[in-house]
C-alpha cells in the first residue's frame, strides 16, 4: 500500500509498504478515504516531539471504510463507513471508565501521562497513522463510530480531532453566560474553540493570531473580534484595554509549544532546546485572564519544563484546565449542533491534496502558504 513516511525533520515522503494486518482479535483494518494534517503533526514534522522514529506514518485524523475485522469485533463489519477518533484507547481501564480516553492506561507502554495517538511517535504508543491507504485500528469496538448518512465526509473528518478538540477547549473554559472568552491561535483548533464558545454562552469572543488571513476566518466563521499580536507592543495590555482593565473571564490556549511572539522564548526552546517549548501563548493566556478566571489549554506541550508564569497563575487564583481531547466524548453534542445547522465544520478546509502530494501538503501547511488553514489528504476519490 501507499503511505506517508517520516524521514527526519522537515522530510516526509510517500512510500510503499505492506498493508497492516489484524494483530489482535479486536482490531479492524480501515481503508482510508480522507485524512487531514493537524497542527500537532507539525510538531512531529519540525522534529519537536521526542521519539518520533524515521519510518513512522503520521495521521490521526481520518475516516474510511472497514476492510477487515478481527474475530472478537462485534459492532463493526466490513463495508461500514467509520470515523475514528485520534485517541487509541481501551474503553475499560480506570481512566477510560471516567471518560479520560486520552489518558488510557492500556495502550502506551512508554508514558504515564498521555495514552495512545495514531501516528504520533513512540511517545504516544508507536501506532502508525492514517495518512495511508490502510490503517490498523485497535479496540475497534471502542473508538470508531459509523458515520451517519446525513454527515458529509469532510465534516466527519473534522470530528476526529480539530472540531472535537476546539469544543473541548471551550468546555474546559467553564464558560458561563455572558463571559468574555479570548482564544489564542486562529488555526483549526482555535477557530473551532471560538465558534463553539458561543454555543456554551459566551458573550464576547476574541481571537488572537499573527496571520491576517486566519483572523479573517475568525471573523467570518467564528464571528469573533480579532487582534493581530504582531501589530501591538504588548497584546496583553490590549486585552486589558478591551476588557475594562479586568481581563477576560476565560482564555483558551490553542497554540501550544511552538508559539511565536517572544524571541527569547523561541531561542531557548526551538533553537537551544533549553526548554520543551515556548510557552508564550500560555503566558499571554495567564496574563490576559482576570483574577479568578480560567485558562484552558489544548495547545500541545511536550513533557519537559518550560518557563511558564506559574506563580502569576497561583497569585491570581486561576483555574488551569487542560488535556489531550477525549475526542469521541464530544461527538453526540457536536453531531446535534451540526445536524441542526448551527455551523458547517468543513468551512475551514482550504486545501484538498492527493496522498501522492503529501510532502507538498506538509510544506504548505507548515510554512502557512497559500492561505492554508486546514489541509485534507484525499486518499481515495
Ligand atoms: N489537546 C489536544 O487534544 C489537541 C488536539 C489537536 C491539536 N492540538 C494542538 O493545538 C494546537 C493548535 O492546533 P492547530 O491545528 O490549530 O495548529 P496551527 O498550527 O494550524 O495553528 C496554530 C496557530 O497559532 C498561531 N500562533 C503562533 N504563536 C501564537 C501566539 N503567541 N499567540 C497567538 N497565536 C499564535 C499561529 O500563527 C497559527 O495560526 C497545536 O499545538 C496542536 O498540537 C491539541
Ligand atoms: Zn491533532
Ligand atoms: Zn483505557
- Residue to mutate, 35, 38, 39, ligand 1, most ligand atoms under 8 Å from C-beta: 39
Q: What are phi and psi of 75, to 5 degrees?
A: -100, -5
Per-block average pLDDT, block size 10, for the chain (381 residues)? 98 98 98 98 93 97 98 98 98 96 92 88 96 98 98 98 98 98 98 98 98 98 98 98 98 94 80 79 98 97 83 98 97 98 97 98 98 97 80
Q: Which triple of cell numbers denotes residue 2?
A: 501507499
pLDDT recorded at residue 144: 98
**Which among 112, 145, 191 is positioned nearest to 30, based on CA atoms?**
145
pLDDT recorded at residue 265: 78
| Ligand number nearest to the C-alpha of 280 | 1
pLDDT recorded at residue 300: 93
pTM: 0.97
Residue nearest to atom 40 of ligand 1 (CA): 299
Q: Which triple of cell numbers denotes residue 281?
A: 501563548
Cβ atoms of residues 226 and 215 within 8 Å: yes
Cβ atoms of residues 299 and 282 within 8 Å: yes
pLDDT in tens, 45-56: 999 888 999 999
pLDDT recorded at residue 267: 79
Alpha-carbon distance 101 to 95, whole Å?
A: 7
Q: How many of the other CB atoms lie within 10 Å of CB of 380?
A: 12
Strand intervals (E) in 157-306: 180-184, 204-209, 225-228, 248-253, 289-297
Q: How far is the CA of 237 from the centre of ligand 2 (A)?
A: 31
pLDDT recorded at residue 263: 80
3-state secondary structure of 168: helix
Residues 6+ apart with CB under 8 A from 245: none
Q: How far is the CA of 104 from the centre of ligand 3 (A)?
A: 4
Q: CA 127 from chain center: how many Å?
A: 17
Alpha-carbon distance 308 to 196, whole Å?
A: 27
Q: How many of the other CB atoms lie within 10 Å of CB of 328?
A: 24
- Which residues, judged by CB distance below 6 Å to any ligand atom, belong to the binding site of ligand 1? 38-40, 42-43, 161-162, 165, 184-190, 208-211, 214, 229, 254-256, 259-261, 280-281, 298-300, 324-325
Cα torsion 172, 176, 227, 360: sign: positive
Using CB atoms within 10 A of its CB, is residue 206 exposed (0-12), middle (13-18) or buried (19+)?
A: buried
pLDDT in tens, 89-107: 999 999 999 999 999 999 9
Amino acid at each position: 500500500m501507499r503511505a506517508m513516511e517520516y524521514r527526519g525533520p522537515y522530510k516526509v515522503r510517500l512510500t510503499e509498504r505492506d498493508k497492516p494486518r489484524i494483530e489482535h482479535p479486536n482490531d479492524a483494518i480501515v481503508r482510508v478515504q480522507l485524512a487531514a494534517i493537524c497542527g500537532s503533526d507539525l510538531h512531529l514534522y519540525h522534529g519537536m516531539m521526542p521519539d518520533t522514529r524515521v519510518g513512522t506514518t503520521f495521521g490521526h485524523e481520518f475516516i474510511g471504510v472497514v476492510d477487515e475485522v478481527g474475530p472478537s469485533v462485534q459492532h463493526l463489519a466490513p463495508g461500514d463507513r467509520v470515523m475514528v477518533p485520534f485517541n487509541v484507547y481501551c474503553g475499560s481501564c480506570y481512566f477510560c471508565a471516567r471518560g479520560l480516553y486520552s489518558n488510557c492506561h492500556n495502550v502506551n507502554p512508554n508514558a504515564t501521562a498521555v495514552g495512545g495517538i495514531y501516528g504520533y511517535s513512540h511517545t504516544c504508543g508507536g501506532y502508525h497513522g492514517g495518512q495511508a491507504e490502510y490503517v490498523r485500528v485497535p479496540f475497534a469496538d471502542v473508538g470508531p463510530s459509523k458515520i451517519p448518512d446525513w454527515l458529509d465526509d469532510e465534516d466527519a473528518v473534522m470530528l476526529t480531532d480539530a472540531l472535537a478538540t476546539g469544543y473541548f477547549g471551550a468546555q474546559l473554559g467553564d464558560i458561563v453566560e455572558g463571559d468574555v472568552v479570548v482564544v489564542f491561535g486562529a488555526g483549526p483548533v482555535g477557530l473551532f474553540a471560538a465558534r463553539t464558545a458561543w454555543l456554551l454562552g459566551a458573550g464576547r469572543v476574541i481571537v488572537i493570531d499573527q496571520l491576517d488571513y486566519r483572523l479573517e476566518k475568525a471573523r467570518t466563521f467564528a464571528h469573533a473580534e480579532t487582534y493581530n499580536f504582531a501589530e501591538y507592543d504588548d497584546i496583553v495590555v490590549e486585552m486589558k484595554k478591551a476588557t475594562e482593565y479586568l481581563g477576560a473571564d476565560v482564555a483558551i490556549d490553542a497554540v501550544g509549544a511552538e508559539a511565536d511572539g517572544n524571541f527569547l522564548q523561541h531561542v531557548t526552546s526551538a533553537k537551544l532546546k533549553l526548554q520543551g517549548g515556548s510557552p508564550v501563548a500560555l503566558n499571554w493566556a495567564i496574563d490576559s485572564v482576570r483574577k479568578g478566571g480560567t485558562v484552558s489549554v489544548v495547545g500541545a506541550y511536550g513533557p519537559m519544563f518550560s518557563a511558564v508564569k506559574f506563580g502569576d497563575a497561583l497569585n491570581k487564583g486561576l483555574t488551569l484546565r487542560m488535556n489531550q481531547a477525549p475526542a469521541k466524548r464530544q461527538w453526540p453534542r457536536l453531531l446535534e449542533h451540526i445536524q441542526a445547522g448551527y455551523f458547517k465544520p468543513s468551512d475551514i478546509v482550504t486545501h484538498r491534496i492527493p496522498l501522492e502530494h503529501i510532502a507538498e501538503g506538509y510544506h504548505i501547511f507548515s510554512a502557512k502558504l497559500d492561505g492554508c488553514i486546514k489541509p485534507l489528504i484525499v486518499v481515495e476519490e
